[in-house]
Structure 1
Amino acid sequence: MFANAQALINAYIRESTGIAKVVTTVPKDRPSRFVRTVRTGGFMRDSVTDVARLTFECWNDGADEPPGVSAKVAAERDAQMVREASLELPGRLLGDGIKIHRTTEVAGPSDSPDPDSTIPRYVLTHEVHVRAPYRKAS
């Protein structure tokens, strides 16, 4: 059985970027800054590798930014931090020793303002190759 790629990657993104809210659903009470990770597909490469296609949506309304930094610039910066963190995943062990083999960028950060709130949002998609947990044969 494969690990939950969203949960593993969210914990890593939270730790490596310092963005406190990295979630799988949009919070009812939206924070000023957050990232939502959505599994938008993927495939089983082989019996031990799950390729999870993950789309990261990075919202930032600029409320916590210093004067002169626009919300749009802040959202794009957050997307670039998530991008960098994701691309640094290969070779890392996450959770209970789950190895990440590879990360492939499918789509880089793109400007995609939230249609409901009009808050600046940047979106990017990566495929993350996640190895199944190692199990000793009995």
Structure 2
Amino acid sequence: MSTRPAVVMPDAVAVVTGYLRSALAAAGEPVPVVSRIPSTRPPRFVRVERVGGTRQTVVSDRPRLDIHAWAETEAAAADLAELVRALVHVIAGVRDGVTVYGTREVGGPMWLPDDQTSTPRYAFAVEIHMRGRALGD
């Protein structure tokens, strides 16, 4: 029997979407940041989706996130994706009570027009290293 406490990993999507909402607003770009595509799509928005990842250590997780940026034009989508990319790379610190150690890019920005609406979209992928919490904390 292990003497280590069970460790619960944070909801990486919730941590990153909350951080990006605040960071984008502070950068003068108050864009919706969501985990699911809204049924009524705003002209500009960002989606964060967990697509895998692995436990990094006994007490930390390294989720892989796909991040998509939609906008009215290809240039605007590219600009929004680059702004979000820059913000994600400086996420390290304590975010909503979760210790985030850092980010590693695993797929740079790519042009990915929305297959349902042809709306301009760029996407990139990152792994975010974050600390879990012992069960009962």
Same fold by TM-score greater than 0.5: yes
| TM-aligned CA deviation for residue 136 of structure 1 | 8.4
Of 15, 26, 32, which aligns to 1:8? 15
What root-mean-square deviation, in Å, do the aligned CA atoms of Structure 1 and Structure 2 show? Answer: 1.5
2:116 is the alignment partner of 1:111: no
| TM-aligned CA deviation for residue 45 of structure 1 | 1.0
Q: How many residues align?
A: 126
Of 72, 75, 79, which aligns to 1:73? 75
| TM-aligned CA deviation for residue 133 of structure 1 | 2.9
**TM-score when scaled to structure 2?**
0.87
Which amino acid letter does the alignment assign opposite residue 96 of structure 2?
A: G
| TM-aligned CA deviation for residue 49 of structure 1 | 0.6
Unaligned runs of 5+ in 2: 1-7
Unaligned runs of 5+ in 1: 62-70
| 2:90 aligned residue | 88
2:52 is the alignment partner of 1:50: no
| TM-aligned CA deviation for residue 20 of structure 1 | 2.8
SS in 2 for 1:50: strand
| TM-aligned CA deviation for residue 89 of structure 1 | 1.4
Measure the CA separation in 2 of the matches of 1:93 and 1:125. 21
What is the CA deviation profile of residues 51-105 of structure 1, one whole-angstrom value per residue up to 9, with x for unaligned ones? Answer: 01000010012xxxxxxxxx11110001001100110012x10112x11112000
What is the CA deviation profile of residues 5-25 of structure 1, one whole-angstrom value per residue up to 9, with x for unaligned ones? Answer: 000000111111224310010
| 1:100 aligned residue | 100
Measure the CA separation in 2 of the matches of 1:74 and 1:51. 30
Which amino acid letter does the alignment assign opposite residue 57 of structure 1?
A: H
SS in 2 for 1:79: helix
